[in-house]
Chains A and B, each alone.
Chain A
Amino acid sequence: MSGDPVLEVEDLRVRLRTPRGPAEVVNGLSYTVGAGETVAVVGESGSGKSVSVLALLGLLPARVATVTGRALLQGEDLLTMPPERLRQVRGPGAGMVFQDPMTSLNPVLTIGRQLVEGIRAHGDVSKSAARTRAAELLREVGLPDPEKALDRYPHELSGGMRQRVVIAIALSNSPSLLIADEATTALDVTVQAQIIDLVEKLQAEHGTGVIWITHDLGVVAGIADRVLVMYGGRCVEDGTVDDVLERPAHPYTRGLLGSLPDLAAPAGPDGEVPELTTVPGLPPPPTDLPPGCVFWPRCPVRADPRCETEQPPLAVVSRAAAGATASGALEEGSRLPHRAATWCTEGGQG
């Protein structure tokens, strides 16, 4: 897990035109994904997770979406590249798996056709060669009887099998980055686990960088190297999976974790078991964000008067404040800083 990052996102902003006025859906998001690394993006529905990745690949309708910032995929800026270059990058550069396998395949074309057209869009491959490759891919993602499956239509497969097909399509051009947008949300728990195993296996084999978007913290704990917590279109906390899940600094992250009764709950510094907490209320509408901290209206802490009027910057969490224990060497902490956009921890909170 080293070397140049596959993806570097810098100050990504997405604004959508809506009948209710402009909606600031993503507000200055920055992160990197290294080769072979899995970054989980976590947040409630409407936090801007999906939009932020759709924006990377230019998959938002240009009529309603304005995207600014930089997004370097292996050094090339996705946001400024000409359409034809972007087309070439989709596939070999970055593959994408969507949420609902029931709708993300074209119902009137065969599985084989949908795989073959993806393969042939990126290289001068004969139809039969592409078909052979397609069958290989299906075998790789664990579809039984891949040769036969090529001639099937999506409705003849189960949800889990369809998602495997979608993954096969995403991987068909050996992308350096795989984006999974709630890829397991619509699936049964057992199928979920299979899909996650599959992606981890393929990632290990090909060294692919993965962005895994989810609102399921259980999945995050299982798959991610790093976590990015989004709220109101902003990153409110990021860091290694251990840092964020075990020593959450932002009140929102704490709320999220607190709302999971069984997951390793953040233990207080003195080892006391914290109360089960939830996050009451709903995220702010992106057309009408609060002037200060986006989380302020729902924040149970509100430790600092500035919170109401000023957005706290994303700052490295001091390990003392976050309740550092013996775990985690300081060197590692400096390489993968644990940051949070909050003032709550400064006052010796927690």
Chain B
Amino acid sequence: MTGAPVPEPGNSPDTPAGAPGTSPAATLRPARPQWRETLSLLLHNPTAAVAGVLLLLIVVVAVLDDTFAPEGANDISVADRLQSPSWSHPFGTDDLGRDILSRVILGASVSLRVGFLAVGFALVAGTLIGLLAGYYGKWVDDVLMRFMDMLFAFPAVLLAIAVLAVRGPGSGNTALAIGIVYTPIFARVTRASVLGVREEVYVRASRSVGASDWRLLTRHILPNAAPPIIVQTSISLAFAVLAEAALSFLGLGTQPPNPSWGLMLAEGRGYIELAWWLAFFPGMAIFLTVLCFNLLGDGLRDALDPRQRTLMAGSGKAASGSAAVGGAAVAGDAAVAGDAAGSGGDR
């Protein structure tokens, strides 16, 4: 999806008067979001930029966990148990004398791995389903999307619990469970984008000259559907990390003695009045990671939203994330409504 510079004939000066004018570019392929411009917009958004950098840091720490962790995560030292934060143990130690900082760092790699696996699964499965449903329409659409609606109707954590109840606890199953939970969102977002571009003139034109379905999907439709999928990926990562923590907290996710943030919180909960740091730091780690993914997602949404580039961006007209008015929100078809609803059901 490296976008070759596409001429933007339609990108004439935006006018506040907003009288409708037929753009000569209407029949041409719409200008794809230009990745370089998107990146620069993103970097000019201080919140998103900081979130992105922080995330990068978290990922690096998680990948190189052994290098960064001052001690082994499971080094038990009974003499050092329940020590409050100090220079030798910045986050303190737990009931077995294990260094909490080291466990938080190792927990990062566990939490993120599950998060990425889950979202990766949802991304691939959901995008595929959404593409098929949106592109072929008719009964394919009906069958696939009804099934997705059924999954979506479920409270996310409960669906994950149900999956884990049958599959048994563990990191891999947790990733699978969360992945299944998030598949419908990706399917929906993708389908909506595909429906948006399927009837565009350039797609019909390509079809009329005999382009194959596969070529149409990969060359024309997928790149145009990409922006909302990218945004959804970031936001889903946030909720996947959160869900992993919740499931581990409930004892269904990562199993001891592996350090996962949710598990550490559960273990520290019993000591909350005695040693607050046991539960505090892992919670903070979850919070920060999730916050960063969310902020990055918001930044991406703004940067990829063409409306953000209009002249009147400051006024109400260009409000980001317009609300779905009327019954659309009930059907949940509008991406935004789905998103708003989704982020609720996600918890």
Contacts and interface: CB of A to CB of B under 8 A. Distances in A.
Contact of B13 (A48, A50, A215, A286): A286
Nearest to B309: A19
Q: Chain A, interface size: which category?
A: 20 to 34
A285 interface: yes
A46 B314 contact: no
Interface in B124-176: none
B21 interface: yes
Contact of A285 (B13, B18, B21): B13
A42 B309 CA distance: 28
A23 B311 CA distance: 9
Nearest to A286: B13
A248 B13 CA distance: 27
B19 A45 contact: yes
A282 B311 contact: no
A18 B315 CA distance: 9
Contacts of A23: 16, 311
A184 to B, nearest CB: 12
B19 A185 contact: yes
B19 A16 contact: no
A297 interface: no
Interface string B287-329: 0000000000000000000000101111110000000000000
B12 interface: yes
A47 to B, nearest CB: 8
A285 B17 CA distance: 12
A207 B19 CA distance: 29
A19 B12 CA distance: 15
Contact of A99 (B19, B309, B313): B19
A25 B16 contact: yes
B15 interface: yes
A45 B19 CA distance: 5
A16 B16 contact: yes
A50 B19 contact: yes
A185 B17 CA distance: 13
A283 interface: yes
Interface string A280-291: 001111110000
B325 to A, nearest CB: 8
A325 B314 CA distance: 51
Main secondary structure of the interface of B (DSSP, over half): loop
A150 interface: no
A246 to B, nearest CB: 26
B12 A282 contact: yes
Contact of B19 (A20, A215, A287): A215
Contacts of B12: 282
A182 interface: yes
A63 interface: yes
A49 B13 contact: no
Given A182-B19, A185-B19, A284 B13 contact: yes
B314 A64 contact: yes
A287 B13 contact: yes
A61 B20 CA distance: 21
B13 A19 contact: no
A46 B312 contact: no
A48 B17 contact: yes
A185 B20 CA distance: 9
A154 to B, nearest CB: 13
Interface in A179-228: 182, 185, 215
A299 to B, nearest CB: 18
Interface string A100-140: 00000000000000000000000000000000000000000
A47 B16 CA distance: 10
Interface centre among B12, B15, B315, B316 (most CB of A within 10 A): B15
Contacts of B19: 45-46, 50, 99, 182, 185, 215
A282 to B, nearest CB: 5
A283 B17 contact: no
Contacts of B13: 46, 282-287
Contacts of A18: 311-314
Given A16-B311, A51-B16, 8 more contacts: A20-B311, A45-B17, A45-B18, A45-B21, A46-B16, A99-B19, A185-B19, A284-B13
Closest 4 CB pairs of A and B: A285-B13, A46-B15, A45-B19, A50-B17
21 contacts: A16-B16, A18-B311, A18-B312, A18-B314, A19-B311, A23-B16, A25-B16, A45-B15, A45-B17, A45-B19, A45-B20, A46-B16, A46-B17, A46-B19, A50-B17, A50-B18, A51-B17, A61-B315, A64-B312, A185-B19, A185-B20
Interface of B: 12-13, 15-21, 309, 311-316
